Amino acid sequence: MGQITAGFILQMVSNSLVEWFVNTTLGTTIVAGIQTVAPPSMRGIYQGAMVIVGTGADIEQVTVSSVTASTFTADFLSAHPSTDPVTGATFSSGQPTTPLWTQQEMLSYLVDVQNDFLSAVRPVYKIATQTLSVGVAAYPNPSDAIRVERISVNGTELWDCTQTDIDWQGGYSSRAGQGPFYWYQDKVGPFNFAVDPIPQSGFPARIFYSQLGSTSLGLLSTLTAPDIFWHILKYGVLANAFSKDGEQRDLMRSAYCQQRFDFGCLISAKFLEGLEARFRGPEETVEPMLAMMKGGR
């Protein structure tokens, strides 16, 4: 896990788009700072391009600040020998004036696609803590939550239900001073949850939630989605790239890539369900009304 980077996905995308993949060396030994290097090949390197330099602990992403026919200049964080690799899917076609695609555009597609995938499959979970305060029913979801899956107080699950269910039971007032016993997400605004009865003293709650990916990726960023799914994300990005207006638009291949992405989400969800690795869906976790009518706990 955590071995696949956004840069690798973009490399795979650029292959399918017949874009040049920068794969050269620095050609010049450098110390940290703003340096000019002369790589054996300048193909695919342009002003503004982001490339990956180095290996191991010294690997870094740099942005090319200027180029000549045989050199480029960038601000390096680390020293590098002349043999260190320079790689990257730079999407150089049409640069600098009329690019077909840009790196930032592709990273933006990847952010969206990863979050689409994580929302559809929900393979990654996290726990946050939230203090339930006196007299406060509603609280914001964790900022990186797709959705809250479970809430517990003192190690015991609160029942996942709806405010409508609670209303049918006579409302929280009938249980004032107790609990909380329940949590719900309806009618409390987007990205919020609430507990019932309203706490009459402070409670430390633990929020189990399915995790969203980062909203910003660089070439060296690892992904929130587990590595086994990298090819599915590639097809999602390609579906966007092929559907973009312009001379490279290819709706047939875009539709194909979208279908591969959707199929990937389907088999991934089935994979998690088959292994019972996922929290159950709402249709399975919302307690039956009958149980609610029995008076809670």
Partner 1 sequence: MATISSLETDVQNQLEEIPADDVGVFWSVANEIRPALVEAMNEATLITGEPQFRAVSAPFPIPTGTVFTPLALPNDAVALLRVEGAGSVAFQKYSVWDLDRHFPGWEVATGPSPLAWFPFGLGQFGIYPNLTAPATVILSYVQMPVTTAPPWDGTQVVPFQPEYFDGFKDAAQHYLQLKEGDPEFSQSFGPYNRFLASCERMSNFAWRKNSLRFSRAGGASSAITQIRQK
1 interacts with partner 1 by CB under 8 A: yes
Give the one residue of 32, 38, 77, 127 binding partner 1; rule: CB under 8 A. Answer: 127
Q: Which of 113, 108, 261, 141 is nearest to 211 (CA)?
A: 141
End-to-end Cα, the chain, rounded Å: 41
Cβ closest to partner 1, residue 35 vs residue 185? 185
From the list 57, 155, 201, 290, which residue makes contact with partner 1 (rule: CB under 8 A)?
155
Window of 15-23, 25-33, 39-47, 97-105 that interacts with partner 1 by CB under 8 A: 15-23
Minimum CB–partner distance for residue 11 and partner 1 (Å): 7
Q: Which of 6, 52, 124, 219 binds partner 1 (CB under 8 A)?
A: 124
Distances in Å between the Cα of 141 and the Cα atoms of 146, 187, 190, 205, 280 are 9, 14, 9, 12, 19
Query: Backbone phi, then psi, for 51, in 5-degree steps?
Result: -130, 160
Beta bridge partners of 37: 72
Contacting partner 1 (CB under 8 A), which of 115, 128, 150, 188? 150
| Region label for 295, one of left (φ > 0), alpha (ψ between -120 and 50) or beta (otherwise) | left
- Give counts: helices (H), strands (E), the chain: 7, 14
State which of positions 173-202 bind partner 1 (CB under 8 A).
Answer: none
Contact residues toward partner 1 (CB under 8 A) are 1-4, 8, 11-12, 15-18, 21, 23, 122-125, 127, 150, 152, 154-157, 206, 208, 210, 226-231, 234, 238, 250, 252-253, 256-257, 263-264, 266-268, 270-280, 284-285
